[in-house]
Structure 1
Amino acid sequence: MGAKLTSRILFQPPEVASYSQIYPREVEYFRTKSNIRVPFYFVESDTPSQVYVLYAHGNATDMGHSYEFICNLSQKLSVNVMHFEYYGYGILKNNSKPSEEGVYETILGAYTYLTETLRIDPRTIILMGTSMGTGAVIYLASTLAVNNVDVGGLILESPFESVVRCLSRNWFGRYIDMFPSRFRIKNVRCPILILHGTRDKVVPIKHGKEMLKLARCKVSPHWVDGAGHNNLRRKMGINKYNEVLKKFIIELYRDVNSPSLHSNNPLQVY
């Protein structure tokens, strides 16, 4: 009963999808282990690039709402971006229900598509999540690390320790908790970038700061003064936002054994 109530509180997909199979561009599909077709966008960089961003959106939104955002990432950062949908969201709203396990299954399906269908090296993949999406990417990064697989990096925008910790600090509530990122972040081995607004009332900045403390790898924090939960990028300004992400990505691939940003100049030392 408690877990179902937590799910109902957490998952708030838009009533109507913001996109269709052909608008604003034609979607592609991969299949999950449950054999469900999941839509995704794949935006290639204008400049040939070996770097791939796997993006997981937040709650109360869907894949279509993030389309312009991922196009900006691809163009300004010279990266390829894959953005997938969750069960029960967007054009999957009528044939599946949102759930924590469903979020995990869809991001695993997206990662499998990149690494097995497209044959992408995991080291060239950066996992990026916003709000609820941070629970998805931390889960994936932790799962892969436990299995001795490393991705290139992790970008967390407004991350939370766990769902119940956003709502309550009592121990009873933790028995029905979801997305326990505070425990999983300790397994992550790749560099992490955390962005969080100082006036976030949905996921207070103390969550971002706690995740910074719990991580055992290199973490670059960026606290955005005056930003709330839904206006972090606007408060930063898109140019500053792109600058912070670009710097992080370049730092990831400084080492000679790491892939370069551009495929026509492999293994370059910056």
Structure 2
Amino acid sequence: MKKSLSALIPNSFIKKYSFRPPEPAKYAFEFRDKKYHFFPIINGQRKQIFNYYLQIDSYVLKNDKICVPIIHFSGLQNTKTEVSLSKECLFSSKSFQCDFEKLTQRNRTLVIFSHANASDLGDVYFFGEKISIEYGVDFIAYDYTGYGIGVGQYKVSEQQTYDDLQSVVSFAINKLNYSLNQIILWGFSLGSGPATEIATRFGGLAGLILQAPIASIYSWFGEGDYGNQDMYVNHKKIKNVQSNILIIHGDQDKIVGHQHSEKLYNNYMQHNDGGKIQFILVKDAGHNDLQFYIERGEDDLGAQIHNFLRKKGGGAFSEMENKLLNQSYLKEHIPGQNIYQCNSLRKYSSSQELQIKKAHSFFSFCTCD
């Protein structure tokens, strides 16, 4: 019965169901003043963002196979500007004094967040902002190739999401100057797939957080060994993760039952010492509202997340890790613009040439009206 279930669910259906980027995208990237700017779209309108406490930078990693928009929250910004007076600005609802005190205690830990299906940076922006302030960490949110500003123009696949996240990790280390032992991968739902896979490749990471994770794609439809056709087989991979692991799941999750997390935890414990893994079952939390319990940073859940985010990884790069980081880093930088390309693109040395290039589809693709 268990094995026959796989024959009843076509693999093409699973792949189509697994990747459902919002259309249209819930945000826009605009290139001006020699850099990219991020705008969430609310009720069909682009909104100007501003935060008193954080520096927010936008980037795009791109080549012929990869298009990964990134927003990066870091540091402390307490200088008011004209844009802060705009009625369309989006402000934190917490008091300035409370958040200022939290941000003065920030450390150099970086969370790289892999989002759920049917989501994009327009959804993740507000979560990232709150996590960065509440827990005093830097935060990167990114879109998978084929999501967001790349929807309909790039192919989405399991392997592609792995390449996307590995490129973001490499970018964070090579361009943003983080160390591997300062980076925590955080995967929500479908995002637990790329987060777990990349965590198996880099033993020196500070940690892996899995929020309402899946055991595998086919596990949504029933138990069984589906062999090579299954996707995101986290329950098999998790035993190979060397860094610290924190699993968080709601006990009322009707979309991805907490049995998925229990399976991950139990499979890890069968092969490893339990000292590196924690499993928190959050009372009364569902799938999509689990983030609100996390954002508050209160009670035992908040304390455990705070403690986890202060842990450091091994830090040393193995020869294989170095090779992976170098292979996945998109080295080419076009001067004056926050966009990184493969070496197949020639460098432009003059402002005139840059203007010519900007007129072509390469730039118009990344500029959303």
* Corresponding residue for residue 190 of structure 1: 243
* Corresponding residue for residue 248 of structure 1: 308
Pair 1:136-2:187 in alignment: no
* Corresponding residue for residue 95 of structure 1: 153
1:202/1:104 CA distance change after superposition, 3 Å? same
Secondary structure in 1 aligned to 2:249?
A: strand
Q: TM-score, normalising length from structure 1? A: 0.84
Secondary structure in 2 aligned to 1:156?
A: strand
1:20 aligned residue (28, 31, 39): 28
TM-superposition CA deviations, 1:119-152 (whole Å, max 9, x none): 321001011010011111100001223xxxx100
- 1:174: Cα distance to partner? 3.9
TM-superposition CA deviations, 1:158-209 (whole Å, max 9, x none): 01111101212234x4442000111110111111111001121221111111
Unaligned runs of 5+ in 2: 1-8, 30-37, 41-48, 50-56, 77-103, 316-369
1:237/1:73 CA distance change after superposition, 3 Å? closer
- 1:242: Cα distance to partner? 4.2
The aligned runs of 1:41-190 (5 Å cut-off) are 41-46=71-76, 47=104, 49-145=107-203, 150-171=204-225, 173-190=226-243
- Confirm or deny: 8 A CA contact 2:134 2:295 kept in the other structure: no
Structure-2 separation of matches of 1:143 and 1:101 = 14
Structure-2 separation of matches of 1:179 and 1:164 = 9
Q: Which of 241-250 and 224-233 deviates more? A: 241-250
Unaligned runs of 5+ in 1: 259-270
Quick one: which amino acid aligns to residue 247 of structure 1? N
- 1:35: Cα distance to partner? 5.1
Secondary structure in 2 aligned to 1:126?
A: strand
* Corresponding residue for residue 233 of structure 1: 291
1:40/1:232 CA distance change after superposition, 3 Å? same
Quick one: which amino acid aligns to residue 101 of structure 1? Q
Structure-1 separation of matches of 2:144 and 2:295 = 28
Tell me the matched-pair count. Answer: 249
Secondary structure in 2 aligned to 1:20?
A: strand
Quick one: which amino acid aligns to residue 12 of structure 1? R
Secondary structure in 1 aligned to 2:27?
A: coil
Structure-1 separation of matches of 2:283 and 2:194 = 26
- Aligned identity (percent) is 27
Quick one: which amino acid aligns to residue 245 of structure 1? I
Cα RMSD of the aligned pairs, angstroms, is: 2.2
* Corresponding residue for residue 268 of structure 1: none
Larger Rg: 2
* Corresponding residue for residue 267 of structure 1: none
Quick one: which amino acid aligns to residue 99 of structure 1? S
Pair 1:221-2:279 in alignment: yes
Quick one: which amino acid aligns to residue 202 of structure 1? I
